[in-house]
Structure 1
Amino acid sequence: MMDTKVTTVIVNATKHGLTMKVGNRQCYAKLTSFKVGGEYRMQLDVNWTYQEFLVQDKAHSHNRVFINSDDCCDYERITIMETADGRFDMQRDLREQFRTSCTPIEEESSRLTPSTWKSWLYKFIYV
């Protein structure tokens, strides 16, 4: 039987303590909090119902980002950072299986030069 649980590391790279809440549709319950430089290892089952996670500055609740359960399935690490103007932003690191599966598609598309696709297109136009 395949394990359907994934772990995503949420990293606090801001200058503030953060609070994480779980919920949906503007109804949230506190899940955890973590200090500056701290991290939280979130474990989810990919078959669970869709969830949203609100991560916000403990002191200034308007400074926040939303992470959802789909993000946790796709990304192994999400780093909460601050932009130059002090707003929160996220850097997401794809899980290994997604990084390797994307490589052949990128390589294939880079081999498709304008002359190649034009000759392919002309075959259909001038039949």
Structure 2
Amino acid sequence: MGSTEIINHTTKALTVKLGNNRVYTEIATVGKDAVYKVSVDSNATYHEFCMGVDAAGKPIIVNSDECVDNQEITITEMDGKFNLVKVPRQIQRPVDQTRHVYSSKRTLATPSINTATKSRQPSSSTTTTTSSWTFWKAPQKYQAPPSNLY
């Protein structure tokens, strides 16, 4: 569960409404240059946050997926039209130490044909069971049947 900051950089206060399928309930009012934090659970039901309508009649809607993906959503206004500026979250992924050590020792070179053909067969050190590889053989050229059959 993460929280997303909704920042209002418009000329008027915005009313935040929570809902789904265009049925909304008012939950907050965000003043000019104010910040409102929305907490959304990524496993929860899909929700929409309606921030109001711009001068052109277009509603500003932010859904729960956008709140999960972004740490900050700024609403700006230009010529009466609203614009959303999104800042994505920084995801920390654990580093796989085995891959990291292996990749630091490996040299970056274009593999030759010999190494590409060797990789098709299983190595004996990685597997203890006996297995056989069967490769598909391309059919030979089409040969017409002998003409003396008729």
Asked if these proteins are the same fold (TM beyond 0.5), I'd say yes
Corresponding residue of 2:24: 28
Corresponding residue of 2:62: 67
For the Cα contact (< 8 Å) 1:56–1:62, is it kept in 2? no
Corresponding residue of 2:139: none
1:89 to 83, 87, 109: 83
Cα distance between partner residues in 1 of 2:55 and 2:32: 15
Change (3 A) 1:56 1:48: same
Cα distance between partner residues in 1 of 2:80 and 2:13: 14
Q: Which runs of 4+ in 1 moved over 6 A?
A: none
Larger RCO, structures 1/2 (Cα 8 Å, 6+ apart): 1
Task: State percent identity of aligned pairs.
Answer: 33
Deviation per CA, 1:53-109: give whole Å up to 9, x if none: 10016x9793531000000010000000012x21111000000118xxxxxxxxxxx
1:39 matched to 2:38: no
In structure 1, stretches of 5+ residues that fail to align are 99-127
Whichever residue aligns with residue 91 of structure 1, its letter is V
More helix by share: 1
More strand by share: 1
1:9 matched to 2:2: no
Whichever residue aligns with residue 82 of structure 1, its letter is E
Cα distance between partner residues in 1 of 2:56 and 2:22: 14
Q: Secondary structure at the match of 2:67?
A: helix
Q: Secondary structure at the match of 1:96?
A: coil
TM-score of the aligned structures, taking structure 1 as reference length: 0.67
Change (3 A) 1:25 1:62: same
Whichever residue aligns with residue 72 of structure 1, its letter is C
Q: Which has the larger radius of gyration?
A: 2
